[in-house]
Amino acid sequence: MSMPTMPGDGRILTAFAPLPADTWRTHITQELGATAVWALALHDAAGLEIPALADAATPGAHIAAAPGVAPYRRGARHAGGWQMCQIVDAAAPDEAASQLADELAVAPEAIGIACDPVAGVGVMLHDAAALAALLNDIPPLPSPALHLCGGAAAPALLAALASRGACRVSSCAWDPAAQLLQYGVLRGGEASAYAQLADMTRWAARHAPACRTIAIDATVAFEAGASAVDELALALATAVAHVRGLVAQHVPLHTIARHVIVRVALDSQVFEGAARLRALRLLLARALAAFGGDDTVQASTIHAVSARRGTSRRDPLLNAVRHTLGTVAGAIGNADIISVAPYDAPMGSRAGRALARATQLIVRHEAHLDEIADLAGGSWHLEARTTALARAAWQRFQQIEAAGGLWPALTTGLITTSIMATAATPRTIVGASHFVDEDADALPEPTARHAVPVVPMPLASFDELIAAAAVQPLAQLAHMSPMHADDRHAPALMPVPPGGA
């Protein structure tokens, strides 16, 4: 077979005539049969079709807006890149300090510290002084950024930092809806939660303008087995509920938008993960525009983390491959912050943490995925999938709105019922459910760490929480909040456990 002559200017693609989509379909039909194009199509958990062959005529495949331009489907930045943010989570403070030193040695743009005494996960710090001591070795802003991952304890962590007189944190954000999904109860209901969240945001606007205090945490639903459509619809409903609740507390829309951070979990499905991130940006931009937000308000900051769902305790080194694929998905989907978990999480050996750190460094400095804005922009498959997910999630969101909005939908189980049904679907996990190596090592069962039992105490305001932080341990502080209404209850979601024995 003769090869075409290469053009003298080095532009290889000009040596090959473009093949129309119909030509591809003809070849597929000749090789695989008349119905192959349709027979090879897949369907996701929500019933959406994923075509085997996408082209410019595929619905939703064509886009016009450039990266960094509203509605930010192609990312909020004109250039490529993301914050590399490895998370310190050792239980013992001295071990956490050692992990922190290892991360700082590579001069990252960001550091994450997990500390949630409510759930009993992350660094177990006694009080505000212990938190300040751990953070003492982190260089001052602007680099590295500091993200405190406190879950339900985020208000307590922010109050603890505020009580020490200085707050150099980039995010310490709370999502009361995720807390309700995780625990099945929200003390004082959403009215009390939004009073607390409004106080946190106003305090940050005055004293730490760079600190994001409002979380839209999609990881709880994803780890519980949610489909992409349910995950995106829930994140959108959460964003709308947060805006309504905080506007009712007299927080301006532009202040709300400036202090929001979105958390998303990414597994080994590269293109699906990238499409989820792109669809989420598009949905959030449309919702904020509906509230009257301009282009700057519509841009969202997304923190992508490695998912535990789909990992395996058996043959755990395979998790490093899964987390690498998730990192690539974050890069393609234009995540703003990426955190890669150790392959042996939650234990997280030093070797596991080093490999996780190296994963980001290789993706950035060897694969150079940070040098291109919107790596997969124009991919007909990815664009069509993004559009399909966004449209289906919007329809699902409208069902939530018709049921009274986020909070009633959570209480009645409208959302959780669908997520639990999807979670029951069997999933392929190489090394655990398929292609099992019976001689492979397996991670031990994680040691359960229980939260310190405390009695909830009502407070009038976030200022009172700051005052209490000077004398109360963090475990108690995390259970002190305004109580303006009755508790809100809802069916709780349980995370899908890792595969393997």
Alpha helices (H) along 44-115? 93-104
Residue 92 lies in a domain: yes
Residue 365 lies in a domain: yes
What spatial distance separates the first Cα and last Cα of the chain, rounded to whole Å? 53
Residue 359 lies in a domain: yes
Banded model confidence at residue 1, pLDDT cuts 50, 70, 90: very low
Give φ, ψ of 384 to 5 degrees: -65, -40
Residue 212 lies in a domain: yes
What's the half-sphere exposure (Cβ side, CA atoms, 13 Å) at 177? 27
Q: Worst-scoring range by mean pLDDT, 137-141, 212-216, 319-323, 424-428? A: 137-141
Whole-prediction pTM value?
0.93
Q: Please report the pLDDT score of residue 483 as a whole number.
A: 73
What's the half-sphere exposure (Cβ side, CA atoms, 13 Å) at 178? 28
Q: How far is CA 463 from CA 158, 163, 481, in A?
A: 11, 10, 11
Domain of 283? 83-422
Mean pLDDT of 137-154: 87
Residue 369 lies in a domain: yes
Q: Please count the structural domains in the chain.
A: 1
What's the half-sphere exposure (Cβ side, CA atoms, 13 Å) at 423? 22
Q: pLDDT tens across 265-295, in order?
A: 999 999 999 999 999 999 999 999 999 999 9
439 burial type by CB count under 10 A (0-12 exposed, 13-18 middle, 19+ buried): exposed
CATH of the domain at 339: 3.20.20.240
In which element (H, E) is residue 244 found?
helix 228-248
Q: pLDDT tens across 14-46, in order?
A: 556 777 878 888 888 888 888 888 888 888 877
The residues with which 88 forms a beta bridge, in sequence order, are 113
- Whole-angstrom distance, CA of residue 196 vs CA of residue 336: 27
Is residue 470's pLDDT more than 80?
yes
The DSSP bridge pattern shows strands 185-186 and 488-489 to be: antiparallel
- Whole-angstrom distance, CA of residue 388 vs CA of residue 429: 26
Strand, coil or helix: what is 484?
A: coil
Is residue 4's pLDDT more than 70?
no
Q: pLDDT tens across 153-200, in order?
A: 999 999 999 998 767 899 999 999 999 999 999 998 999 999 999 999
- Whole-angstrom distance, CA of residue 88 vs CA of residue 478: 20
**For the range 420-423, what are the long-range contacts, defined as Cβ-Cβ under 8 Å and sequence gap of 24 or more?**
420/224, 420/225, 420/493, 422/45, 422/225, 422/226, 422/227, 422/230, 423/224, 423/225, 423/226, 423/496
Output the six-digit token pair for 302: 């997304």
Residue 440 lies in a domain: no
Q: Cis peptide leading into 144, omega within 30 of 0? A: yes
- Whole-angstrom distance, CA of residue 96 vs CA of residue 87: 10
Residue 329 lies in a domain: yes
Q: How far is CA 486 from CA 188, 215, 288, 477, in A?
A: 5, 23, 29, 20
Q: pLDDT tens across 409-455, in order?
A: 999 999 999 999 998 888 888 878 778 788 788 888 877 666 555 66
Mean pLDDT of 102-115: 91
- Whole-angstrom distance, CA of residue 249 vs CA of residue 108: 37
Residue 273 lies in a domain: yes
Q: Please report the pLDDT score of residue 440 as a whole number.
A: 81
Q: Among residues of the chain, what percentage have pLDDT more than 70?
A: 94
